[in-house]
Amino acid sequence: MGKSTVQLANPPSIEGFACTVGKKEGEGPLASSFDYIGKDPYWGEKNWEAAESAMLKQAFDMALNKAGTAPSDVNYVFAGDLLNQSIGAVFGLRESEIPYYGIFGACSTMAQGLALAAMSIDGGFADTVAAAASSHFCTAERQFRFPLEYGGQRTPAAQWTVTGAGAALLKSQGEGPYITHITTGIMVDYGIVDASNMGAAMAPAAYDTLSTHFADTGFQPSDYDLTVTGDLGAIGQSVVLDFFKQDGLDLSSNYNDCGLMIYAREQKDINAGGSGCGCSAAVLCGHILPAIKAGRWKRVLFAGTGALMSATSSQQGNSIPGICHAVTISAVK
C-alpha cells in the first residue's frame, strides 16, 4: 500500500507473549503488568551480559508456555539486543535449536522482529514464528558510556536503559491480537551527534514513518485507540507532536511513548525517560497486548524507534541516523 506499507492478506495471531524486567522497572507504574520482576540484577549469573541472556531466555520460555508451544514447533525466531554481535539473544537462545535470525534495530528491534515474523507467516514461509528483544542497564552502560564505577553524571536529555526483555509468539491461526499492517521505515538523519540525546535523533524517523503510514493506509490518528512509539522519551515525543501539529494533526489525545510509560517521572535518574530494546518489548508484552486481548483497546499502532549508532561511530564524530518501524495490532482479523 502506497510507499512502504504492506497489508497482510492472512494476518497472523499473537498467541503467546511474556516479559521480564528488573527492580527499577518493577517500581514503576506498569509493575502489575510484568510477568516477572527480578530482584537480582545478575539474574543468578556471573556478569551483566549473561544476566541479559538469562532474562531474554526466561521471557522467551514463558511466551512459549503461554501459547502451549514447544520449541521444536517454532519455525523461526527473530531476536536482538543492543550488544555487539547481539550476544544477549545469541547466548540466550543458543540451546533452543530453533532456526535463528539475529536482528538489530536498536530500540526498534521488537517492532522489527514482529514485522519480519508476521511477513514470514503471511508469505507462507512459516506457521509459527517468535520475536524477542532485550536490554540491560548495566550492559548498555558498559558498552556505550562508562563503567558503573565511574559514576558519571547524566544530562537532562539522557534516557535510562531499561533492564527488561519481551517475547511474542506468532501463529498463522489463532484468536488474536492480529498484525494487520506493517510500515517499514527509512533511515532519517538530521545530523544529531549527541549520544545523550537519543530522542532528538530518533524523532524525525518516527515522524516520517507515522506520516507515511497514515498516507499509505488512509488511516487517521483517531482510528487508533493508541499510537505508541518506543522509545523517544520526553524530548523525542515533544518533537513528534510538534511536527504533526505543523501538519494540522493533533496526536496528543491518543499518543504515548514506551519510554514515558515504564517509569514514573519522579523516579530517580530517569531524566528524559526509558530506552533500550527491552523497553518497548516489555511495555508491549506486559501492558499493550493484554489490553487488546482484554478488549480495552481495539487497534494500536506500535512504532518502534531506534538510534542506529555504535560507541565507535560516536567516537568518530558520526551523526546518529534514526529508524522507525510501525506495526498495526488489531483485535479484529
Question: Is residue 44 very low, low, confident or very high in pLDDT (cuts 50, 70, 90)?
Answer: very high
Percent of the chain topping pLDDT 70: 98
Residues of the chain with CATH 3.40.47.40: 5-171, 178-330
pLDDT at 311 over 90: no
- pLDDT tens-place string over residues 233-257: 999 999 999 999 999 999 999 999 9
Cα separation, 59 vs 166, in Å, equals 6
For 271: left if phi > 0, alpha if psi spans -120 to 50, otherwise beta; the answer is left
pLDDT at 223 over 90: yes
DSSP state of 188: B
- pLDDT tens-place string over residues 11-34: 999 999 999 999 999 999 999 999
Residue pair 2/169 in contact (Cβ under 8 Å)? The answer is: no
Strand partners, 159: 271
What is the predicted pLDDT for the residue at 159?
78
CATH architecture of 5-171: 3-Layer(aba) Sandwich (3.40)
Average pLDDT estimate for 216-222: 96
> Quick one: which of 278, 273, 272, 303 has its CA closest to 37?
278
What is the predicted pLDDT for the residue at 147?
65
What is the predicted pLDDT for the residue at 149?
65
- pLDDT tens-place string over residues 277-289: 999 999 999 999 9
What is the predicted pLDDT for the residue at 146?
65
Fold of 178-330: Peroxisomal Thiolase; Chain A, domain 1 (3.40.47)
What sign does the dihedral 93-27-276-232 (CA atoms) show? positive
b/e per residue 74-100 (b: at least 16 CB within 10 A): bebbbbbbbbeebbbbbbbbeebebeb
pLDDT at 93 over 90: yes
Residue 150 contacts by C-beta under 8 Å, 6 or more apart in sequence? none
Cα separation, 28 vs 39, in Å, equals 14
pLDDT at 172 over 80: yes
SS (H, E, C) 120-187: HHHCCCCCEEEEEEEECHHHHHHHHCCCHHHCCCCCCCCEEECCEEEEEEEECCCCCCEEEEEECCCC
Cα separation, 20 vs 308, in Å, equals 25
What is the predicted pLDDT for the residue at 150?
58
Residue pair 82/110 in contact (Cβ under 8 Å)? The answer is: no
> Quick one: which of 164, 103, 161 has its CA closest to 130?
103
